[in-house]
Amino acid sequence: MVPSPRSQLLSAPGAAAPGPAAGRRIDWSTVFMLLPSRRFTAEELRRAIPGPMSPSVKVSIAFNLAVPALALLIAFGRDAPWVVPATMLAFVALLAWIGLRAWADPSSSVPRTGYWMLPLLSGLVGGWLLKGPEVTRAAAVAIAMMMVIGSLGLWFVIVHRHQYVQMRLAELAERERAVEMARRLAAAQLEPHFLFNTLASLQHWVATRDERAAPLLEALTGYLRATLPMFALPTLALADEAEAVRRYLQVMQARLGARLAWRVEIDPRLQALAVPPGLLLTLVENAVEHGIEPQIGGGEVSLRAAVQEGGERAEAVVAVEDSGAGPAADAHEGLGLTNARERLAFTHGTAARLTIARSPAGGCRAELRLPMPVAQELAEKMPAP
């Protein structure tokens, strides 16, 4: 005996494959109820089905229920007594209610009970109608068949919706794993070469008793305190990200001296704006590495966050700008920027836009734009520190 379709197709992700002994046993739950066994929690349903049922689905359900019922009414309703159309309408209403509940939660008890009761109800109603002399055998059989077909349709809705929710949850879990890997990769990219270079400078200055060693050590300690905890969070307040940027620029200024000038200006209204941890830090690091360090005379790096009014709605604009030579015409984005875009898309969706272009004053400008209503919602949803 081969494993049942329920065991093969409708099992929960991660379930162990049935062994040879399981294939020889009868799965009585499958015999009596060929439905998926997994029950979804309220949180799983909220993640997989974030919004209410669309009008298109409602119209589709109403259409698929109304057309066969109307056809039967036309075929048998003229000469049939009132009990025939009343039975049809009652069944259609009951099936619609159960179907809507199955669409909202295919693992709930209502559609499962309906899956059991509708075939039983079709037999009882068909037999009851056949006892009455005023109802023809054809009409009674047609009503019973309509109930059976409706039961099969309900089974299809339950299984289809259950598989959709299950696949959507698996997709979201895979996306979260990918974003987590990108976050860790971004943290790994951000820390090693910067830390190694800084520690090498610190070691040299300590060995030569250079007076710059103490300020560099103090700046590096502040940077580590600001950045190490933040990569464990899914999102970070802009104020905290800006503080990490300040600490990084202090370290780089201790190393580069007068070659590096910097400014960080954050609009108070955007202090709680949620951003992926290390996103702006990556942009600022790129600005220093590619825009300032290659120049003998150095330059300036700025981080500005402001609210831009005008248009249909206000936007939060966060810009990282340097006074370097600017991006080359044939330049390609590195892995750090690619990861930054993916993490930004995961936390903010399509509402956020990140552009990298030549600054009007020369140099490179990385600009993040986020509509203010979306920015406020994201800030409100941020986890408490």
Going by pLDDT thresholds of 50, 70 and 90, the confidence category of residue 119 is confident
Poorest-confidence range of 54-58, 235-239, 263-267, 290-294? 54-58
Q: Are strands 299-308 and 315-322 parallel, antiparallel or unpaired?
A: antiparallel
**Is 383 a residue whose pLDDT tops 60?**
no
Instruction: Report which of residues 334 and 303 the model is more confident about.
Output: 303
Same-domain check for residues 256 and 147:
no
Same domain? For 195 and 143 the reply is no
Write the pLDDT tens digit of every residue in 78-114. Answer: 566 666 677 777 877 888 888 888 888 888 888 878 8
Q: What is the pLDDT of residues 148-157, one digit of tens each?
A: 777 788 888 8
pLDDT, the chain, mean = 77
Q: What's the token pair of residue 235?
A: 């999102």
Q: Are residues 301 and 153 in the same domain?
A: no
Give the chain's domain count: 3
Confidence of residue 336 (pLDDT cuts 50, 70, 90): low
Residue 4 pLDDT: 40
Is this model's pTM higher than 0.85 or not? Answer: no
Instruction: Give the Cα-Cα-Cα angle 223, 225, 231 (nearest 5 degrees).
Output: 90
238 plus 374 within the same structural domain: yes
Edge-to-edge, what's the strand order for the sheet holding 364-371?
A: 260-266, 299-308, 315-322, 364-371, 353-358
Task: Say what the pLDDT of residue 49 is.
Answer: 83
Q: What average pLDDT does this structure show over 266-287?
A: 89
Q: Check whether residue 218 and residue 133 sit in a common domain.
A: no
Same domain assignment for residues 277 and 345: yes
Q: Which of 191, 167, 153, 355 is nearest to 285 (CA)?
A: 191
Q: Residue 343: which domain range?
A: 191-326+333-381
| Residue 17 pLDDT exceeds 50 | no
Tell me how far apart the alpha carbons of residues 303 and 321 are, in angstroms, rounded to a whole number: 7
Q: Is pLDDT above 60 for 374?
A: no
Q: What is the mean pLDDT of residues 33-52?
A: 79
**Residue 363, domain member (yes or no):** yes
User: Cα separation of 336 and 122, whole Å?
Assistant: 62
* Rounded mean pLDDT, 168-195: 71
Query: What is the model's pLDDT at position 15?
Result: 44
